[in-house]
Amino acid sequence: METRKLGKSGLDVSALGFGCMGLSFPNAPTKNESIKLIRSAVELGITFFDTAQGYGENEFLVGEALEPLRKEVVIATKFGFKDGNVRFGLDSHPETIKSVAEASLKRLRTDVIDLFYQHRPDPNVPIEDVAGTVKDLIQQGKVKHFGLSEANAETIRKAHSVLQVSALQSEYSMFYREPENEIIPTLEELGIGFVPFSPLGKGFLTGTINADVDLDKDDTRNMLPRFSKENREANQALVDLVVSIATDKNATPAQIALSWLSAQKPFIVPIPGTSKLHRLKENIGAINVSLTNDELKKINSALATIKIVGERYPSQIRDTAERR
């Protein structure tokens, strides 16, 4: 698989990463099945794996799966929640960051964290203090690169003035294009890589979800406004567009969505997640789907006419995010 550099940091990763969070969700595969899937990803060329302290037992799983392959891969993890629990609120105080780093090193069975993200900006801790703390960890050899997640342009600039930010992780896809307004230009200016999560619109861009599909009662998308029955029906035009392009290119909708995303900038590395080997292979197949400039212009022109209906998060989560 081709590799990409995350900005000017010198961090080389596979052009497509693997978001491991879903392997610790309800209805996930067994531990042994998940370990086998992660190792299969490495065999298929993926070298970039994403986890977090806040993903339950996920760091343990990723650490065990990748321990025998550690020299071949880049592992990214995150800090920023009290006791690693998103329900307990934010905590990026320096002492917390240091203790999380030590614990993550043990859970990941490694002596260094390749990319250490702040999971969400903490309004109670200046970002300069956060960057300074990670800088200390880098000088101690415990961390190699610093990242941010879901941070705004001002926060990115402040952090970058203290310590080079290697990558920003935020949601970005045909289904959510807000980063194009301010975030991507800022990243390009500063030489920072972009790692989009939910690059398939949480499954919406695969063409398998429409207004008639009943989501499982444990499916976390039930709480997301964009996935209400009414909004899925309203947003069907986007799916129809992706399916149409996929048919023309003899590809799958997911491959078109990933190919489009990667074509936006050379420093973009999507991290789709999956619990199924055939989906993993399908996602990797996107690397071989090339969209011409004319095709990209056609797609972007069509996207400009489609209005996405529904917020990506419930109001209580959205309000918190907008204050950052």
* 10-residue averages of pLDDT along the chain (324 residues): 93 98 91 98 98 96 98 98 88 98 98 98 97 98 98 98 98 95 98 97 84 76 80 88 94 96 97 97 96 92 87 60 38
DSSP lists the bridge partners of residue 78 as 117
Q: According to the model, what pLDDT value does residue 323 have?
A: 35
Indicate if 313 belongs to the active site: no
**Alpha-carbon 111 to chain mean position:** 23
The C-alpha atoms of residue 280 and residue 169 are separated, in whole angstroms, by: 20
The C-alpha atoms of residue 46 and residue 43 are separated, in whole angstroms, by: 7
The C-alpha atoms of residue 272 and residue 22 are separated, in whole angstroms, by: 10
The answer to whether 69 and 39 are in contact (CB under 8 A) is yes
With H, G, I as helix, E, B as strand and everything else as coil, classify residue 150.
Answer: coil
Q: Name the residue with tokens 């992706």.
A: 242
The answer to whether 21 and 273 are in contact (CB under 8 A) is yes
Q: Which of 55, 117, 172, 176 is catalytic?
A: 55
**CATH number corresponding to 3-200+260-290:** 3.20.20.100
Q: According to the model, what pLDDT value does residue 320 have?
A: 41
Q: Measured between alpha carbons, how far is residue 230 from residues 97, 159, 169, 233, 285 in Å?
A: 42, 40, 29, 5, 32
Q: According to the model, what pLDDT value does residue 229 have?
A: 83
Q: According to the model, what pLDDT value does residue 313 have?
A: 77
Q: According to the model, what pLDDT value does residue 315 have?
A: 59
